[in-house]
A and B are shown apart, each in its own frame.
Chain A
Amino acid sequence: MTADLHHQTDGHPSGANQPGGPIELPANRSWLERHGRTLFTVLVRLALLALFLLFWQMMSGRYVDPLFISQPTDIWANLYEWARDGTLARNTWLTVQEIVLGFLFGASAGIVAGFALSIIRLLGDILDPYMIALYSIPKVALAPLFIIWFGIDVQMKVLLAAVTVFFLVYLNTSAGVRSVDRGLIDAVRLMGGSHREVITKVLLPGSMAGVITGLRVAVPYALIGAVVGELVASNRGLGYLMLDSASQFNTAGVFAALAVITIIASVLNLGVSALDRRSSRWKPVEG
């Protein structure tokens, strides 16, 4: 357990090379052994996608009316056209703004409410059934109300996304606060910690796992909120682009907008899982 011994294992997160503990050895694996499986998975994934597009292309026009399923080349042409005349950038940017703003507002309100109502226990108990009732409302049902309040401009979509995000973050945050080990709170009291220190040094860091779960779950819902808002009523944005294409029986346009939305969703999910990996080191053993 000497310092010298420890330096050899620096960078390894386990308490290895302690007498009686596990032993760490270099694994000496080749590049292919280490990355072979990942490489294979990625290659097969790409091949599958290519095969699917090819099949689609062949089916369209030959066996199925292109009015229903369009075809990949048309969709690509449509995307290219939109990209060239600026339609794509303008509408995508608007939708992304709605997603980001909705997420930020909803998440911050959800975190604040989650902490406040868990720390002030009585208030939380009183409001709990109302929160659950509001959570159970399908958020699309609020769209007409928001249209009356804000019209069909950006605010309504931001609000719709924010409301959806709020409840998910709120519920996960308060679950996180409630799951904090009672023993840890007692430990801080025994150290002579004040009520404020119990909150800042135990409840806040202890509930981080819950907060992050809430944020992670909520990210795709911000997208859903924004796009649904655009589908209900709008004159700009990806949802509008989709609706507008459909009303002109431009199936390729519908698919093009759908493809952009899918890409946005994937990017958001990638970001979330990167965040998740970074915060997992100190997680309790059971977690």
Chain B
Amino acid sequence: MGAVLEVVDLEKSFLKDEKRIVALRGFSLEVVEGSFVTILGRSGCGKTTLLNIMAGLLARSSGQVAYRGQPVTGPRTEIAYLTQHDTLMPWRDVQRNVEMPLEMRGVRRAERRRIARNLIETVGLAGFERHYPRELSGGMRRRAGLARMLSTEPETFLLDEPFGALDAQLRTELQAELLRLWHGSGKTVVFITHDLEEALLLGDRVVVLGPVGRILLDEQIGLPRPREDPENIRLDSAFIALYGRVSSALKEGAR
């Protein structure tokens, strides 16, 4: 299968006072359809900027970003983007938050209700339809955000440290659920994280970023799927070897 997302020689700089701050330079990446790519990097390496540009929220300074051969100039409904922070509307309850993207598409009320109800159940929030975001815990808000993202059945997912703010146990739980939802769906996922283990446990391929988005390492992860048992995978010799290579690449980039 071919590349869904193609980034060629991307550059992004911001103007601050009279200085140009370069966030990304000479970045190129091809994402194959149906694959799960994790992008790993320390904070400040331009990960979020990269994702914002791929999602069409941010204009690039130079270079090309194409989705299925078409240049990305603004947000596209085939691409879903789960940002680092919750963006649930605080004045809408869970049900109405999940329905929101469907409203924009003009889906009829009854149909919206049905889809949202199913999704809320899928992400394990049944019974909380009438709760407002502030009445939910962080993990539950993430689930609601996930349900909202899934409601329009996008083809490609951009996830920016989606579980970064959660406690370790909840993170493991949601990682497993994400894999369960993704496995066999044929959807493409670009997953950004600063957590080495998370990157290796989830992805088919790991891309390690250094400063200004320089690619330090780009490697396939050959671990068998489904990866339901992270405890055992951590002991796998292939995992340990990969962990070592990625870890030293990260260290090298820091120098």
A286 smallest CB distance to B (angstroms): 9
Q: Secondary structure of the B side of the interface?
A: loop
Q: Which of A116-151 touch B at CB < 8 Å?
A: none
B128 touches A282 (CB 8 A): no
The distance in angstroms between the C-alpha atoms of A227 and B131, with both chains bound, is 45
Which residues of chain A are within 8 angstroms of B132 by Cβ–Cβ distance? 13, 281-282
> What residues make up the interface of B, taking CB atoms closer than 8 Å to A?
55, 57, 74-77, 79-81, 83, 85, 87, 89-92, 100-101, 103-105, 124-128, 131-137, 140, 152
Among B83, B89, B133, B140, find the residue whose CB has the most chain A CB atoms closer than 10 A.
B89
Interface flag for A26 (CB, 8 Å): no
Interface flag for A36 (CB, 8 Å): no
B87 touches A187 (CB 8 A): yes
Q: Which of A178-202 touch B at CB < 8 Å?
A: 181, 183-184, 186-193, 197, 201-202
> What residues make up the interface of A, taking CB atoms closer than 8 Å to B?
1-3, 5-6, 13-15, 18, 21, 181, 183-184, 186-193, 197, 201-202, 205-206, 208, 281-285
Which residues of chain A are within 8 angstroms of B125 by Cβ–Cβ distance? 1
A282 touches B124 (CB 8 A): no
One of B79, B90, B91, B127 near A5 (C-beta < 8 A):
B127
Which residues of chain B are within 8 angstroms of A1 by Cβ–Cβ distance? 124-128
28 pairs, CB–CB < 8 Å, chain A vs chain B:
A1-B126, A1-B128, A2-B127, A3-B127, A5-B127, A6-B128, A13-B131, A13-B132, A15-B131, A15-B135, A15-B136, A21-B137, A186-B57, A186-B83, A188-B100, A188-B104, A189-B74, A189-B75, A190-B79, A192-B76, A201-B103, A205-B89, A206-B90, A281-B132, A283-B134, A284-B90, A284-B134, A285-B134
One of A186, A192, A206 near B105 (C-beta < 8 A):
A192
